[in-house]
């Protein structure tokens, strides 16, 4: 297994530790784990492209690892009343539509690439999670940081709708197959 794929596996393996730290209210540890896992996302793709180490495993598992990490945090935030359930439902609906389209296209031998707006959505989600976790670390002093996290998260929701719409429109030919 090459280095980028190892980083992807490390990101997935970090998720249970992140969840445990969060549930134990060890928010500084949860923050460190989440940031470290998010950094692996940056480096696995960068290394894979620069060194020509792009693999089918990486193409499939890298975005899946991102989703497992971020959506785990969002589930915890619902339980903690930081975000509303409808927000995660909207995000998941977009992901299911995109995944469905990719599956149909793949069955026809076509690969549908991720767009830049989808990558921006993911970055905004990760940043929002980090800001929310930082606010939790600050306790009673974190109210303004929590508001900043909310603003960033709402921006990620806008990008979720935009990127999903863009993806469907750009790849609508899949529906004709």
- Report the number of secondary-structure helices (H) and strands (E) in the chain: 6, 0
Structurally, the chain folds into a number of domains equal to 1
Q: Residues 69, 15: contact at Cβ < 8 Å? A: yes
Q: Is 114 helix (H, G, I), strand (E, B) or coil?
A: coil
Q: CATH code at 150? A: 1.20.120.1760
Q: Tell me the CA end-to-end span of the chain in Å, nearest whole number.
A: 35
Q: How far apart are CA 33 and CA 172, in angstroms?
A: 38
Q: What is the residue range of 95's domain? A: 3-176
User: What's the confidence (pLDDT) of residue 177?
Assistant: 60
User: What's the confidence (pLDDT) of residue 110?
Assistant: 79
Q: What is the mean pLDDT of each run of 10 residues along the chain (177 residues)?
A: 93 97 98 96 88 85 92 98 98 94 84 85 96 97 98 98 94 79
CA-wise closest residue to 33 among 125, 130, 127: 130
User: What's the confidence (pLDDT) of residue 87?
Assistant: 98
User: What's the confidence (pLDDT) of residue 46?
Assistant: 87
Quickly tell me which residue has 């469905």 as its tokens. Answer: 100
Instruction: Name the token pair of 130.
Output: 């980090």
User: What's the confidence (pLDDT) of residue 55?
Assistant: 85
């Amino acid at each position: 297994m090459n280095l980028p794929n190892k980083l992807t596996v490390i990101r997935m393996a970090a998720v249970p530790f992140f969840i445990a730290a969060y549930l134990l209210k060890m928010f500084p540890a949860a923050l460190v784990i989440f940031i470290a896992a998010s950094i692996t996302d940056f480096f696995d793709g960068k290394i894979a492209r620069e060194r020509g180490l792009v693999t089918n495993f990486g193409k499939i598992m890298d975005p899946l690892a991102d989703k497992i990490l971020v959506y785990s945090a969002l589930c915890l935030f619902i339980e903690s009343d930081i975000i509303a359930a409808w927000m995660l439902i909207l995000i998941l609906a977009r992901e299911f539509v995109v995944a469905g389209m990719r599956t149909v296209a793949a069955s026809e031998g076509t690969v549908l690439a991720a767009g830049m707006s989808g990558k921006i959505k993911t970055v905004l989600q990760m940043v929002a999670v980090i800001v929310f976790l930082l606010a939790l670390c600050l306790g009673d002093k974190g109210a303004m940081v929590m508001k900043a996290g909310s603003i960033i998260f709402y921006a990620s929701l806008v990008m979720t709708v935009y990127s999903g719409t863009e993806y469907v429109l750009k790849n609508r030919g899949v529906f004709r197959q």
